[in-house]
Protein backbone atom coordinates (compact mmCIF):
# COMPACT_ATOMS: atom_id res chain seq x y z
CA UNK A 1 0.00 0.00 0.00
CA UNK A 2 1.32 3.43 -0.88
CA UNK A 3 0.96 6.62 1.11
CA UNK A 4 -0.97 9.74 0.18
CA UNK A 5 -0.02 11.29 -3.15
CA UNK A 6 -0.76 14.89 -2.16
CA UNK A 7 -0.91 17.13 0.89
CA UNK A 8 -3.92 19.39 1.42
CA UNK A 9 -3.68 22.33 3.79
CA UNK A 10 -6.60 23.67 5.80
CA UNK A 11 -7.00 27.17 7.22
CA UNK A 12 -5.00 26.42 10.37
CA UNK A 13 -1.89 25.79 8.30
CA UNK A 14 -2.21 29.15 6.55
CA UNK A 15 -2.82 30.90 9.87
CA UNK A 16 0.33 29.30 11.31
CA UNK A 17 2.34 30.37 8.27
CA UNK A 18 0.96 33.90 8.55
CA UNK A 19 2.10 33.97 12.19
CA UNK A 20 5.56 32.91 10.99
CA UNK A 21 5.40 29.53 12.74
CA UNK A 22 8.92 28.21 12.12
CA UNK A 23 7.87 24.55 12.29
CA UNK A 24 5.22 25.10 9.61
CA UNK A 25 7.70 26.88 7.35
CA UNK A 26 10.21 24.05 7.89
CA UNK A 27 7.59 21.45 6.96
CA UNK A 28 6.79 23.45 3.84
CA UNK A 29 10.48 23.54 2.85
CA UNK A 30 10.76 19.76 3.31
CA UNK A 31 7.71 19.15 1.12
CA UNK A 32 8.90 21.51 -1.60
CA UNK A 33 12.40 20.00 -1.53
CA UNK A 34 10.81 16.57 -2.05
CA UNK A 35 8.84 17.90 -5.01
CA UNK A 36 5.53 17.89 -3.17
CA UNK A 37 3.43 20.93 -4.00
CA UNK A 38 0.77 21.30 -1.27
CA UNK A 39 -2.80 21.91 -2.40
CA UNK A 40 -5.07 24.55 -0.86
CA UNK A 41 -8.74 24.91 -1.84
CA UNK A 42 -9.43 28.50 -2.92
CA UNK A 43 -12.16 28.91 -0.33
CA UNK A 44 -9.62 28.09 2.41
CA UNK A 45 -7.62 31.09 1.20
CA UNK A 46 -10.80 33.20 1.28
CA UNK A 47 -11.49 32.09 4.86
CA UNK A 48 -8.06 33.24 6.05
CA UNK A 49 -7.23 36.18 3.79
CA UNK A 50 -8.11 39.46 5.48
CA UNK A 51 -5.58 41.99 4.24
CA UNK A 52 -2.96 42.61 1.59
CA UNK A 53 -0.60 43.02 4.55
CA UNK A 54 -0.59 39.26 5.21
CA UNK A 55 2.75 39.01 3.46
CA UNK A 56 3.85 35.83 5.23
CA UNK A 57 0.74 33.93 4.18
CA UNK A 58 1.00 35.19 0.60
CA UNK A 59 4.66 34.16 0.47
CA UNK A 60 3.76 30.73 1.87
CA UNK A 61 1.05 30.29 -0.76
CA UNK A 62 3.62 30.81 -3.53
CA UNK A 63 4.81 27.28 -2.75
CA UNK A 64 1.28 25.87 -2.98
CA UNK A 65 -1.23 25.18 -5.69
CA UNK A 66 -4.49 26.96 -4.95
CA UNK A 67 -7.25 24.73 -6.32
CA UNK A 68 -10.48 26.29 -7.55
CA UNK A 69 -13.74 25.42 -5.84
CA UNK A 70 -15.89 24.85 -8.89
CA UNK A 71 -19.49 23.71 -9.28
CA UNK A 72 -18.61 19.99 -9.26
CA UNK A 73 -16.56 20.36 -6.07
CA UNK A 74 -19.39 22.42 -4.53
CA UNK A 75 -21.92 19.64 -5.19
CA UNK A 76 -19.59 16.97 -3.79
CA UNK A 77 -18.90 19.07 -0.69
CA UNK A 78 -22.61 19.71 -0.19
CA UNK A 79 -23.40 16.00 -0.39
CA UNK A 80 -20.61 15.31 2.10
CA UNK A 81 -22.04 17.93 4.49
CA UNK A 82 -25.45 16.27 4.25
CA UNK A 83 -24.00 12.85 5.07
CA UNK A 84 -21.99 14.24 8.01
CA UNK A 85 -24.77 16.46 9.33
CA UNK A 86 -22.44 19.46 9.46
CA UNK A 87 -22.33 22.86 7.76
CA UNK A 88 -18.69 23.96 7.33
CA UNK A 89 -18.26 24.26 3.56
CA UNK A 90 -14.55 25.03 3.87
CA UNK A 91 -13.82 21.85 5.84
CA UNK A 92 -15.92 19.85 3.38
CA UNK A 93 -13.92 21.29 0.48
CA UNK A 94 -10.68 20.19 2.17
CA UNK A 95 -11.99 16.64 2.63
CA UNK A 96 -13.37 16.58 -0.91
CA UNK A 97 -9.99 17.59 -2.33
CA UNK A 98 -8.32 14.86 -0.28
CA UNK A 99 -10.78 12.32 -1.67
CA UNK A 100 -10.25 13.47 -5.26
CA UNK A 101 -6.44 13.50 -4.99
CA UNK A 102 -6.02 10.65 -2.48
CA UNK A 103 -4.14 13.19 -0.41
CA UNK A 104 -3.32 13.67 3.24
CA UNK A 105 -4.98 16.55 5.10
CA UNK A 106 -2.84 18.69 7.37
CA UNK A 107 -5.18 20.42 9.83
CA UNK A 108 -5.30 22.24 13.14
CA UNK A 109 -8.87 21.01 13.70
CA UNK A 110 -8.92 17.24 13.11
CA UNK A 111 -12.23 16.57 14.88
CA UNK A 112 -14.43 18.24 12.25
CA UNK A 113 -12.27 16.91 9.43
CA UNK A 114 -12.48 13.35 10.83
CA UNK A 115 -16.28 13.59 11.04
CA UNK A 116 -16.49 14.58 7.37
CA UNK A 117 -13.93 11.94 6.39
CA UNK A 118 -15.92 9.22 8.18
CA UNK A 119 -19.10 10.37 6.43
CA UNK A 120 -17.38 9.91 3.07
CA UNK A 121 -17.09 6.18 3.71
CA UNK A 122 -13.55 6.23 2.34
CA UNK A 123 -10.14 6.27 3.98
CA UNK A 124 -8.73 9.76 4.42
CA UNK A 125 -5.37 10.39 6.07
CA UNK A 126 -5.61 13.30 8.52
CA UNK A 127 -2.62 14.71 10.38
CA UNK A 128 -2.69 17.28 13.13
CA UNK A 129 -0.64 20.36 12.52
CA nearest 73: which of 41, 30, 48? 41
pLDDT band at residue 3 using 50, 70 and 90 as cut-offs: low
- pLDDT tens digits along 31-77: 999 999 999 999 999 999 999 999 999 999 999 999 999 999 999 99
pLDDT band at residue 95 using 50, 70 and 90 as cut-offs: very high
128 phi and psi angles, rounded to 5 deg: -80, 140
30 burial type by CB count under 10 A (0-12 exposed, 13-18 middle, 19+ buried): exposed
CATH class of domain segment(s) 7-128: alpha beta
- Give the H/E segment covering residue 41: strand 39-41
Whether residue 24 is predicted with pLDDT greater than 90 in this model: the reply is: yes
Please state whether the predicted TM-score (pTM) of the whole model is above 0.85. yes
Listed range (2-16, 93-107, 114-128) with the worst mean pLDDT: 2-16
Which pLDDT score is estimated for 109?
86
Cα–Cα distance measured from residue 22 to residue 39, given in angstroms and rounded to the nearest whole number: 20
Amino acid sequence: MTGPVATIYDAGVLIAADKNDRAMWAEQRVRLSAGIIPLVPANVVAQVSRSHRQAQMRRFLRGCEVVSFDEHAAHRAGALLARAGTADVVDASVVDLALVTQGEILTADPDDIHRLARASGRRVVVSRR
